Amino acid sequence: MLHLLGDVIGQAAWRLNRKGRRLALRNIELCYPLLSRTEQRRMAQQAFRHYVKSLLEYPLVWTGCPQRLQSLIVEIEGRELIDEALAQGKGLIIAAMHLGAFEVGIIPMSAHYPMTGMYKPIKNPQLDALSRHGRTRFGGKVIPIVKRQGKRAVGSDVLRALKRGEIIYTMPDRDPPRSHGVFAPYFGISTHSPVLIPRLVQATGARVLICTGRRLPRGRGFAVRFTEPPAGYDSQDLCEAVAALNAGIETSVRTMPDQYWWNYKRFKRRPYGECCFYNGKTQAQPPATEKPEISTLRAA
C-alpha cells in the first residue's frame, strides 16, 4: 500500500515540482546522453516515484515491527563478504547510496554486527530524535557529522570503531564542501567527490563494501546486495582511490537507475573556471588568501 501510494504521490510530484523535474532530467541527460528524450523522461518519472516511496518507508524502517521489517528483506547477496572483511580485524566501511531502499539493507543488520553510522543532524529536534532512534533501534550507533572551527569533522569515535574491527557506514554519493573533496570520474564526468572513505581506509586499512537495497515490484520486499568496489579504492593516491570508489557506485546505480535520487545537485561544484551544469555560471576562482585543504581525521 505504501508503494502504491508512492506511485500516486510521485506522479503528482512530477507534475507539480517543476524545479525538481528539471534537475532530475538534467542529471539523467548528463549521465545517460545516449538515451532518447522520451527514455530520459520515463526514467526521471520513475525516479520521482521511488523517491516518494523512500520517504513513505521511513516510518516502517524507523518505527515498524522489527520482525516484519526483517521479513521484507527477501534476499541478501554478498553477506559472506562482511564476515570475510571483519575476520581481518581492521574494520569494515559500508558505502550506502541514495539508491532504492538504502537504509533497509543496513539498519536491521546492526542486530547481528557492531555498527556505527555517520549522519548529518536534522534541524528539527523532534525529527532528528526520531531518525536517531530509528537508526539505532536494532542496536547500532550513530555519530553526527558536526562542524568544528568552521570545518566538518569526523569524530575519533569513528576511527576507534574501525580499529576495534567494527562496521561504520556512510554515504559517498554527494557533493561535499569544496575543501572536503577531489574531482574524479563519475558517469564520465569529472565530479567533485568526498574523500572521507579513502582517508579512513588509509588510516585503518579497513575494507570497503558497497550496499544497495533494490525495491522489488508489487510490494514483494527488498533485495539487499553487498559488493566490493574496483581495485584501487585503498590506494594512497586520493584521486585514484576516489575514482575507484566512484566506479563502484556508478556500477551499482546502472543496475537500477530508475531507483536513484536524480533530483539532487550531484554535479554542483565544477573545477574553477568551468561553468555550472545547472545555472551556467562560471565557478569563480577562490580568494588569494584561501588555502585549499582536504579534510583530515582527528587522531583516535
Cell numbers given for 2: 505504501
Cα 145 from Cα 152, distance rounded (Å) = 7
Contact 91, 161 (CB under 8 A): yes
**Domain boundaries, given as residue ranges, for the chain:** 73-259
Phi-psi region of 240 (alpha: psi -120 to 50; beta: other; left: phi over 0): alpha
Contact 101, 56 (CB under 8 A): no
In the chain, % of residues over pLDDT 70: 91
**Which residue from 128, 135, 143 is spatially nearest to 109, judged by alpha carbons?**
135
**Which residue from 106, 58, 98 is spatially nearest to 224, judged by alpha carbons?**
106
Count of C-beta atoms within a 10 Å radius of residue 105: 23
Q: What is the reported pLDDT for 154?
A: 58
The residue to which cell 576516489 is assigned: 242
**Which residue from 265, 81, 91 is spatially nearest to 173, judged by alpha carbons?**
265
Q: What is the reported pLDDT for 127?
A: 87
Length of the chain: 300
The pLDDT mean for the chain works out to: 88
Which is more confidently placed, 148 or 114?
A: 114
Q: What is the reported pLDDT for 143?
A: 85
pLDDT band at 212 (very low <50, low <70, confident <90, very high): very high
Q: What is the reported pLDDT for 49?
A: 95
Helix (H, G, I), strand (E, B) or coil at 169: strand
Structure confidence by residue, pLDDT tens digits, 23-57: 999 999 999 999 999 999 999 999 999 999 999 99
Contact 56, 48 (CB under 8 A): no
pTM of the model: 0.88
- Which residues neighbour 259 within 8 Å (Cβ) at sequence distance 6 or greater? 46, 47, 50, 99, 100, 214, 215
